[in-house]
Amino acid sequence: MSCFSLATPGGVKSKYRLGNECEVWSETHFTAVAYAGSDGTVAHLHFMPTVYIPTDTIGYNPNNNVTSPVFTTSSGATLSFPNLYVDLQGVSWLFGGTAWVGARYYKRESVYISDFFYWNPSGVGAGIEDIHLGKDLRLSYAAFAVDGEPVGGSPPAPSLPVQTDFGLRNDLQLRGIRPYASGEFQVGFQYIANYSNNPATHSGWGVTLQHVQQLLGGDNKLAVQYGRGGGTGFGTPARFYQPDFSLRRQLSESRVRVVDVLTVQPTEWLGAQAAFVYQHDDTGSGNAGDKQDWISTGARVGWGFTEHAKLLGEVGYDRVKKDNGADPLWLAKFTIAPAITAGKGFLTRPELRLFYTYAMWNENARTAGVDSGQIYIATNKLSGATYGIHAETWW
């Protein structure tokens, strides 16, 4: 099995997922009550073992292709614990807020069809979330450890930095700003304080503004983000779930990103998601090729034509262009997939799919490595196809 994707700024792959996922992935989140007080306070322990089995070539993965802080098998399978934290709810003087400490996925926002976590302040830290300031207004603050750039390794667990650099990422969010009943503004600010004495390290900051509009049985999310230095790390595409925060980014570096994702379910039998991403990266050096634009757009439609049966279709397009005059890299993919499902809804799961995927790309994308199995990189072919079966569920 080989999956089609394009390298985006930072070298992370972007792909539209339907009929285009080569890995086996499982996240199971367990929550246990650790304490229940007579005054209504409740503490929970959260624990999520995550199993990741990449299947790039003939169903098996080359040895040592994936590293893990827990263990790695000869087939590349890994086990990690992205959620392992304790929280405490119901403390009266926290005004409805929840105190927590540990490692966790934290207030992530994503494009489902491409697995792009564009606002992903996850990490290892502590905070108080959702302090109620009014009817819907909620304030959250968290502090996370930050170090240097990860070295080597592969998603979802890159190797730790060679040198230990320490910083603190302060994350402040205000959600529930409602100018009217069906709309909400959400604001986030992150500041990375550098406490390392290493001259190669720097601070950074970033801002996210998001508007959520309820419509057609779903919503539209429009996010605008701007960052400098390590604050350009808002989140990344595909299975690389760790946000790309780092003390090794120069303050001259900047990132502008606009994301719009529309998810609708206008009728019981018809649902869809469409997304658009524009991202501009600038190292600030002034050299040709150090500015880069990434555009990504795609849509998936689900038609539940009878009970427990759907027809799914997806199109996706990615394009990356540098400012040095070189031709852009681009890739387009198309998938059709009949499915046996639990229901007609767009996000109803499980779905058991039979898919056919066709992709095409240009020469620059081919030489950069456009498919996970590296089947086409040594050929002159500018298109390819896959077919197979896939299952997805959640509960």
State pLDDT tens for residues 175-214: 999 999 999 999 999 999 999 888 888 999 999 999 999 9
Q: Which of these, 49, 52, 48, lies nearest to 72 by C-alpha position?
A: 52
Instruction: Inform me whether the pLDDT recorded for 143 exceeds 90.
Output: yes
Spatial separation of the C-alpha atoms in residues 246 and 205, rounded to whole Å: 11
**What percent of the chain is modeled with pLDDT above 70?**
88
Q: What is the mean pLDDT of residues 326-333?
A: 96
Instruction: Inform me whether the pLDDT recorded for 53 exceeds 80.
Output: no
Please give the residue range of the domain that contains residue 258.
6-392
Instruction: Inform me whether the pLDDT recorded for 275 exceeds 80.
Output: yes
Burial of 388 (0-12, 13-18, 19+ CB in 10 A): middle
Q: Which of these, 104, 15, 159, lies nearest to 7 by C-alpha position?
A: 15
Is 274 inside any structural domain?
yes
**Which of 4-18, 78-92, 343-357 is the most confident on average?**
343-357
Q: How far is CA 73 from CA 52, 62, 78, in A?
A: 11, 10, 7
DSSP for residue 371: B
Spatial separation of the C-alpha atoms in residues 378 and 376, rounded to whole Å: 6
Q: What is the pLDDT of residues 15-33, one digit of tens each?
A: 999 999 988 888 999 999 9
Higher pLDDT, 249 or 331: 331
**Dihedral (CA of 160, 83, 187, 222) sign:** positive
Spatial separation of the C-alpha atoms in residues 250 and 337, rounded to whole Å: 45
Is 170 inside any structural domain?
yes
Residue 14 confidence (pLDDT): 87
CB proximity list for 89: less than 8 A, separation 6 or greater? 41, 42, 43, 44, 98
Q: What is the pLDDT of residues 357-369, one digit of tens each?
A: 999 999 999 998 8
Is 51 inside any structural domain?
yes
Instruction: Inform me whether the pLDDT recorded for 64 exceeds 50.
Output: no
Q: Which of these, 143, 136, 135, 147, lies nearest to 169 by C-alpha position?
A: 143
Residue 81 confidence (pLDDT): 84
Is 130 inside any structural domain?
yes
Instruction: Inform me whether the pLDDT recorded for 36 exceeds 60.
Output: yes
Instruction: Inform me whether the pLDDT recorded for 98 exceeds 90.
Output: yes
Is 1 inside any structural domain?
no
Paired tokens of 332: 């387009």
Count of domains forming the chain: 1
Spatial separation of the C-alpha atoms in residues 375 and 186, rounded to whole Å: 43
Out of 82-96, 135-149, 231-245, 343-357, least confident range: 231-245
| This prediction's pTM | 0.91
To the nearest whole number, what is the mean pLDDT of the chain? 88
Give yes or no for a contact between 70 and 90, defined as CB atoms under 8 angstroms apart. no
Spatial separation of the C-alpha atoms in residues 390 and 148, rounded to whole Å: 37
Assign residue 209 the CATH number of its domain.
2.40.170.10
Q: Which of these, 387, 395, 303, lies nearest to 349 by C-alpha position?
A: 395
Number of neighbouring beta carbons within 10 Å of residue 161: 15
Q: What is the pLDDT of residues 102-117, one digit of tens each?
A: 999 999 999 999 999 9
Instruction: Inform me whether the pLDDT recorded for 13 exceeds 90.
Output: no
The per-type count for the chain, helices as H runs and strands as E runs, is: 1, 23
Residue with structure tokens 């795609």?
298
H or E element at residue 365: helix 363-368
pLDDT band at 346 (very low <50, low <70, confident <90, very high): very high
Give yes or no for a contact between 134 and 153, defined as CB atoms under 8 angstroms apart. no
Q: What is the mean pLDDT of residues 94-101?
A: 97
Cα atoms in the Cβ-side hemisphere of radius 13 Å centred on 190? 34
Is 296 inside any structural domain?
yes
Residue 381 confidence (pLDDT): 96
Residue 160 confidence (pLDDT): 59
